[in-house]
Amino acid sequence: MSDIIHLLPDSVANQIAAGEVIQRPASCLKELVENSLDAGASHIRVIVRDAGRTLLQVVDDGKGMSPTDARMAFERHATSKISQASDLFQLRTMGFRGEALASICAVAHVEVQTRRVEDEVGTRIEIAGSEVLSQEIVQCPVGTNMRVKNLFYNVPARRKFLKTNQTELRNLITEYQRIVLVNPQVQFTFVSDDEIIYDLTPSTLKQRIEAVFGHSTKPFTSHLVDIATETELVRISGFIGKPETTGKNSQQYMFVNGRYMRHPYFHKALMTAYSGMLLPDHTPSYFLYFDIQPDAIDVNIHPTKTEIKFADEQAIFQILLAAIRESLGKFNVAPSLDFTTESQLDFPHRSVATSTIAAPHIQVDPTYNPFKSQTARQTVSGWEQLYQQPIPTQPKTIEQLFEEPKITEHTPLLQLDNRYILALTANGIMMIHQHRAHTCVLYKVLREQLGNHQATTQPLLFPEIVELTQDDLSTLEQLLPELSSVGFGVEQFSPAAYSITAVPALLGQKNAADAILQVIHKVQDTEHSAKEQWQEMIALSLAEQMAIPQGKALTEIEMRDLVERLQQTSLRYLPNGKAISTLLSHDEIQKRF
């Protein structure tokens, strides 16, 4: 028998890799703009047509490429940014994998013009489906002009998975905002179908935030107060929203070393600092910029992932918590101050007074190794003092803060307004949001079921037919395995409809078709289509639908059961960041008298 294993041709391998890196126009935009930033551009123009489907062009005035480099740039693993593994720990560029251009040119028509300042003439290359169609000399300005046309022209399945132009444009803008909010010194222009969406001039960070989120009639940054702290481990700067202004327009952003990140644990630090100050369901705005030694974070970040691992998360959690408390404390002690003018916002910072993160001045201790197994307290010097400074609202130790009040079978429980369970604990009154508590318990159960397929299912006597749009159909097809693991029986009924033959037992009498549609739309609303995130969204969406509502009277036995199961999850926040429970401490009660 002859051998059957062979290496895939590059064009095929690149197309497969492209599926990972380039999921939609927004991921393509991110890669191209990051390349322009890495090339030191001071003005970056983005031009899109049909939300990037037919054209996605990025023009920069960066350092450009030589003719050979321009050709090399489209090879897989071709990068100028690292050359050995150890460079990964000193990373200061956005890119380093050398995958993006190879991926893009595997699934689109790409045309690049580029020139370095030292060259008289530039280079123009045309590539489609990883194949170089032409390379020639051209007259062009210094910098790089990348035109990506007909994205996914040769991958119909991907094309089909794209959402409406409106949704894809929103995805483009979301991705774009994450970049412009961290590079205020760079000029950015964004044009979509000949309409100027953004024209952002170089500015301070605060002006940039205003330019992105403010309206002429409704200033945005007047609601923000500064935060700034610097320790040997990390420097954190930026702005946080005043507690009473956490309405619909609130925005949450975290960045590390110039890169956008999502960090539920740090988000929790923030919510902890605000606890007791916010209206229910409200999240404050924040723009937090972390600067840290590159070797103290996990650099091997997947291009489509926004979660970032820190070596010393717990210590940073405490530093962040203290810094936010301090800013809020300043705010609290002087509630009558008018914060709307720039000068009053300029609190004297203990360490760094800055509103941009352009040039980080981190004191580097060359012998310092954050991965060494030291305790958080030893690793970080400085933050203890910081914490011990008198913070008006918080005379507690960190240990006390994180001690969960124990609720035992003897703890008195009361239901307030048919909405909240109040537990009279030794540390104060624990207030529990009943719907979220139940959502949390069910969420945990569903997450487990998604992992091991052990749901109890309940066949429907009369199958329900659900009609779907093209968008919804393609999402549903991708979700079928997950839906079956949590107990749904779903079968294709006609080209545009599915029939639901069974539902998870936990769903009870709820409408099955509605439940599935809600899941589909929740998944569509998530920015990336990574499996883990789907699972999170599916579990959360179903749990929310199955959970007892606010307004339902509970018996004492029901309350005890819920509280006990909630304690087993040891969660205080839902994956969407919403608080499940909050403690009204003895101190806080005392203060009211």
Nearer to ligand ADP among residue 102 and residue 173 (C-beta): 102
Q: List beta partners, residue 127.
A: 110, 132
Nearer to ligand ADP among residue 143 and residue 184 (C-beta): 143
Nearest to 188 by CA among 22, 32, 49: 32
Rounded to the nearest whole angstrom, what is the least distance from the CB of residue 189 to ligand ADP in the complex?
Answer: 15
Per CB under 5 A, the list member of 14, 23, 35, 171 interacting with Mg ion is: 35
Site residues for Mg ion, window 76-95 (CB under 5 A)? Answer: 95
Rounded to the nearest whole angstrom, what is the least distance from the CB of residue 194 to ligand ADP in the complex?
Answer: 23
Q: What is the DSSP letter of 507?
A: G
Rounded to the nearest whole angstrom, what is the least distance from the CB of residue 137 to ligand ADP in the complex?
Answer: 18
312 binds, among ligand ADP, Mg ion, none (CB under 5 to 8 A by kind): none
Nearer to ligand ADP among residue 47 and residue 584 (C-beta): 47
Per CB under 5 A, the list member of 59, 100, 108, 407 interacting with Mg ion is: 100
Q: Compute φ and ψ for 570, nearest 5 degrees.
A: 45, 35
Nearer to Mg ion among residue 25 and residue 370 (C-beta): 25
Rounded to the nearest whole angstrom, what is the least distance from the CB of residue 29 to Mg ion in the complex?
Answer: 12
Residue with tokens 């790409």: 110
Rounded to the nearest whole angstrom, what is the least distance from the CB of residue 14 to ligand ADP in the complex?
Answer: 11
194, amino acid identity:
D
Residues that bind ligand ADP (CB under 6 A): 31, 35-36, 38-39, 60, 62-65, 73, 78-81, 95-102, 144
97 binds, among ligand ADP, Mg ion, none (CB under 5 to 8 A by kind): ligand ADP
Look at strands 195-200 and 122-128 and give their pairing: unpaired
CA distance linking residue 423 with residue 405, whole number of Å? 9
> Cα–Cα–Cα angle for 282, 542, 408, nearest 5°?
70
Nearer to ligand ADP among residue 62 and residue 238 (C-beta): 62
Rounded to the nearest whole angstrom, what is the least distance from the CB of residue 120 to ligand ADP in the complex?
Answer: 18
Contact indicator for 227, 264 with CB cutoff of 8 Å:
no
CA quadruple 216, 221, 223, 226: dihedral, nearest 10:
-170
Q: Give yes or no for residue 39 binding Mg ion (CB under 5 A).
A: no
Nearer to Mg ion among residue 33 and residue 466 (C-beta): 33
466 binds, among ligand ADP, Mg ion, none (CB under 5 to 8 A by kind): none
Helix (H, G, I), strand (E, B) or coil at 266: helix
445, amino acid identity:
V
Nearer to ligand ADP among residue 85 and residue 279 (C-beta): 85
Q: In the bound complex, which residue of the shown chain has the CB atom lying closest to ligand ADP?
A: 95
Query: Which stretch in 21-29, 99-107, 153-161, 233-241 sits in contact with Mg ion by CB under 5 A?
Result: 99-107
54 binds, among ligand ADP, Mg ion, none (CB under 5 to 8 A by kind): none
Nearest to 463 by CA among 499, 429, 516: 499
Nearest to 87 by CA among 73, 77, 78, 97: 97
Residue 28, both tokens:
């393509």
Query: Which stretch in 29-37, 111-119, 206-214, 345-353 sits in contact with Mg ion by CB under 5 A?
Result: 29-37
Contact indicator for 466, 513 with CB cutoff of 8 Å:
yes
Q: Mutual orientation of helices 470-485 and 531-546 as an angle, nearest 10°?
A: 80
140 binds, among ligand ADP, Mg ion, none (CB under 5 to 8 A by kind): none
Rounded to the nearest whole angstrom, what is the least distance from the CB of residue 16 to ligand ADP in the complex?
Answer: 16
> Taking phi first (over 0 means left), then psi (-120 to 50 degrees means alpha), and beta for anything else, what does residue 372 get?
beta
Could you tell me the CA-to-CA distances from 230 to 259, 355, 395, 445 in Å, in that order? 19, 14, 22, 41
Rounded to the nearest whole angstrom, what is the least distance from the CB of residue 467 to Mg ion in the complex?
Answer: 42
Nearer to ligand ADP among residue 67 and residue 95 (C-beta): 95
431 binds, among ligand ADP, Mg ion, none (CB under 5 to 8 A by kind): none
Output the 3-class SS for 522-580: HHHHCCCCCHHHHHHHHHHHHHHHHCCCCCCCCCHHHHHHHHHHHHHHCCCECCCCCEC
Q: In the bound complex, which residue of the shown chain has the CB atom lying closest to Mg ion?
A: 95
176 binds, among Mg ion, ligand ADP, none (CB under 5 to 8 A by kind): none
79 binds, among ligand ADP, Mg ion, none (CB under 5 to 8 A by kind): ligand ADP
Nearer to ligand ADP among residue 94 and residue 421 (C-beta): 94
Rounded to the nearest whole angstrom, what is the least distance from the CB of residue 411 to ligand ADP in the complex?
Answer: 55
Residue with tokens 């005043």: 242
Q: Compute φ and ψ for 474, nearest 5 degrees.
A: -70, -35
Rounded to the nearest whole angstrom, what is the least distance from the CB of residue 422 to ligand ADP in the complex?
Answer: 54
Binding footprint of Mg ion on the chain (CB under 5 A): 35, 95, 100
